[in-house]
Amino acid sequence: MPAKQPSSDHHATQPETPKVRRRRTRGEEVPSTGQSGKDLLSQTEPDDDSEWDSSRERPIQKHELLTRGERDERAAAGSSGGQQELSADKPMVSKMKNLRVRTFWAVIMISGFLLIVAMGHFYCSLLVLGIAAGMFQEICMLKRNKEKDLQLPLFYSLRWYLFFVTVFYGYKRFMTDRFDRLAMVYPSIHFIVKYHGVISYTLLVIGLVAFVLSLRKYTLRYQFGQLAWTIVTLIIVVVQGIAMTANIYNGLIWFFLPTSLVIVNDIFAYLFGFFFGHHPLIKLSPKKTWEGFIGGSVATMIFAIIWCSFLQKYEYFTCRQEEIVFKPFVYPHCTPDEIYTVYRTYTIPPFGMQLQLTDMQIHALVLGVFASLVAPFGGFLASGFKRAFKIKDFGDSIPGHGGLTDRFDCQVVMGMFTYVYLSNFVVADSAAAFTNLLEKVMQLSDTEQLQLFELLGDGLKSRGVVQG
């Protein structure tokens, strides 16, 4: 049979094979389209601030780091072509909404903070410990791999074990005198207080052995990385947080005043930047402006002198708490130190103006300078840290503010500076140093006190202070 000739009917159609569009995988050669190499690279390669997501086979862009509300506002602003007035109003609407949320939660935090301060020194120290634990949790979560942790029994618990050891060792080292007196009141803990150093070292060795036993061949790099991450976090966050507890027991003014200065600086820097900010301060934090930084600094220094003049009038803030008291709302009584009561006259050279200030107000001015000029860089460091990990906030525990680390990063820096300043320039030169020495002498046995008495007598006679 002759072969069947194809139909000459031009109107006859044949079913087309459906074209399957295949997504080009990363690294596949790009077909020539007449576009420039720069344009092609901009379409196929992620920029410097994006991260490749293998599950979605495309890069994570900057806008994906924004909150859902911010993305919706940007999308609405881009799609409203004819509503130019609405688009112009959008940023201010977003700012005011954020300001309301931040203000509401700021009032709640400040109210809770004032209540805890009124409860007493012990509860302030518990607050510091709780914040340090929350910050430790947030930072550790940044590098934690849940899938690998599930393959490593008790490895997650080991982090908190090291946290406990750090707190156990640090609190006794920073407040030795208070724990010595506590051991006299509660003899059951005398052994722990007396051999605290040996116990701390033993606990650390146990943790080291537990870490070595937990090592697995397929997760070695992850485990050692987690150990280093945990140790650095303990040093930066927990140790400095414990130092703030020492400030509390040296007088609540050394805790309440520095924390207030950081809060005031943050509020005024935000307000000045909100209403007048136009010039970015640092690239790591585009929202920080020179106007906010300078305005907040001036307001903080003025507030430091005024606020200190109020706090130094009350024994509750100026008296040292020599014992660890667990009962709330128990206030110490004492004779205020001279730094709170004696006024000195200072002359301001350019204007010839004279001011009468106490030594404590001068100390408050130094703290104000640090809180406004240096402590904010703790926040800038945290901002750079978040950019490195491509996250917006460390957490979401405080609406409008982020996590605990976002809110208290500057407080950690401020607390450590206050401890160093207080130890070297205030306590060492005050009557408290002699009082502490005398209390240590009274804790000696009768035989040891007699030996000390004879040594002191011989020394005074040799110098001719007393006649033999």
What are the pLDDT digits (tens) for 152-202?
878 889 999 999 999 999 999 998 888 988 888 888 898 999 999 999 999
Highest-scoring range by mean pLDDT, 21-30, 225-234, 437-446: 225-234
The average pLDDT across 250-273 equals 92
Q: Are 331 and 121 in contact (CB under 8 A)?
A: no
The average pLDDT across 220-243 equals 93
0.85 surpassed by pTM: no
Residue with the larger pLDDT of the pair 286 and 34: 286
pLDDT of residue 468: 63
Residue with the larger pLDDT of the pair 144 and 432: 144
For the ranges 124-133, 261-270, 285-294, which has the lowest average pLDDT? 285-294
- Model confidence at 52: pLDDT above 60: no
Residue with the larger pLDDT of the pair 403 and 36: 403
Q: Percent of the chain, pLDDT > 70?
A: 78
Burial annotation 136-147 (CB, 10 A radius, 16+ → b, else e): bbbbbebebeee
The amino acid at 96:
M
Token pair in block for residue 178: 């208070």
- Model confidence at 46: pLDDT above 70: no
pLDDT of residue 366: 96
- Model confidence at 53: pLDDT above 80: no
Residue 82: pLDDT band with limits 50, 70, 90: very low
The mean of the pLDDT values for the chain is 80
Q: Tell me the backbone φ, ψ of residue 171, rounded to 5 degrees.
A: -65, -40
- Model confidence at 349: pLDDT above 50: yes
How far is residue 322's CA from residue 333's CA, in Å, rounded to a whole number? 11
Residue 84: pLDDT band with limits 50, 70, 90: very low
Token pair in block for residue 170: 């640090």
Residue with the larger pLDDT of the pair 349 and 169: 169
pLDDT of residue 445: 82
Residue 91: pLDDT band with limits 50, 70, 90: low
How far is residue 95's CA from residue 289's CA, in Å, rounded to a whole number? 15
- Model confidence at 74: pLDDT above 60: no
- Model confidence at 81: pLDDT above 90: no
For the ranges 5-14, 343-352, 367-376, which has the lowest average pLDDT? 5-14
pLDDT of residue 22: 53
The average pLDDT across 253-276 equals 91
Q: Percent of the chain, pLDDT > 90?
A: 39
The average pLDDT across 335-347 equals 91
Residue 239: pLDDT band with limits 50, 70, 90: very high
Residue ranges of domains in the chain: 92-429, 430-468
Q: What is the pLDDT of residues 276-335, one digit of tens each?
A: 888 888 877 777 889 999 999 999 999 999 999 999 999 999 999 988 999 999 888 898
The average pLDDT across 208-217 equals 92
Scan for tokens 């870490």, then name that residue: 211
The average pLDDT across 378-401 equals 81
